[in-house]
Amino acid sequence: MRMRPTLSWTPTEGLPPATMDLEPVAEALSAGGVLVLSGAGISTESGIPDYRGEGGSLSRHTPMTYQDFTGGAQARRRYWARSHLGWRTFGRARPNAGHRAVAAFGRHGRLSGVITQNVDSLHRTAGSEDVVELHGSLDRVVCLSCGAFSPRRELARRLEDANAGFSPVAAGINPDGDADLTDEQVGGFHVVPCTVCGGILKPDVVFFGESVPPQRVERCRALVREASSLLVLGSSLTVMSGLRFVRQAAEAGKPVLIVNQDPTRGDRHAVTRVALPLGAALTAVAGRLGVPVDEGAAGTA
């Protein structure tokens, strides 16, 4: 099924009020079997902006769609110029306290799995295992012709060689790793082809307007079926790709808990929404449960 781009959602009246009480979250994690579903909000403390929160990137930036990317060389030139510049910052982002807390909960047997809507690979970097990256990851590249995969760092080196001296000043970096550049700044940026067949390269992520692979969706549905509860971290749940799992859990009678500072499209399905910053909230819950959180490097390098 093709997912239509959903760029905004307006909270409706009648949503349940938020709380600052972390006890329900602590109780769910204490019981175990918790499935985490994370969104862009968990990575803001690593220096990666979210899409829809206060100051979110959608106020100034419309993400590239799959149809635009595959529809013309100029769109791909614009995408890769902006993404290449953004990768210099995005690729150096480090896990924050929220990512480290999730990894700690996993190591201590509190979680049944992690699904992330993010493409920043920070859950994996923090030490979480068997993470389902629903929308893929920017650290991999795939050829649309032959299907060959390659590391993003390899492509970054090739693009550096092909575009010596390319260093425009961007207005900002977005959650998809895209830097804000004008058409003039993009200029004559050179895009490089697949080294195997000469085909078109694309980051191994699900663009807006593109379908999430069916087998990946089914794996997530299976994780929801196996979980005792669903804990949503830092997602507005605006797009159906994440909201469907909240609905599935609620319909199955599994408690849905949300930690997000702003209202979400899934609030009416949740037993609670905690409106607290994620890093501090999850660290506090870990402390209550006696789960040690590794003190790694937070923020951006």
How many Å apart are CA 103 and CA 93, to the nearest integer? Answer: 17
Which residue of the set 61, 84, 135, 269 is catalytic? 135
Annotated binding site for Zn(2+): 143, 146, 194, 197
Binding-site residues for NAD(+), in ranges, read: 39-59, 117-120, 234-236, 278
The CA distance from 205 to 144, in Å, is: 12
The answer to whether 135 is a known catalytic residue is yes
Torsion angle in degrees (nearest 10) through CA of 123, 128, 134, 138: 40
Please enumerate, by residue number, every residue annotated as part of a binding site.
39-59, 117-120, 143, 146, 194, 197, 234-236, 278
Q: Do the Cβ atoms of 204 and 133 come closer than 8 Å?
A: no
Phi, psi for 184 (deg, rounded to 5):
-65, -40
Query: Who's near 55: CB < 8 A, 6+ residues apart?
Result: 49
Which pair of tokens denotes residue 251?
Answer: 């319909």
Enter the tokens of residue 234.
Answer: 């830092």
- By annotation, the residues acting in catalysis are 135
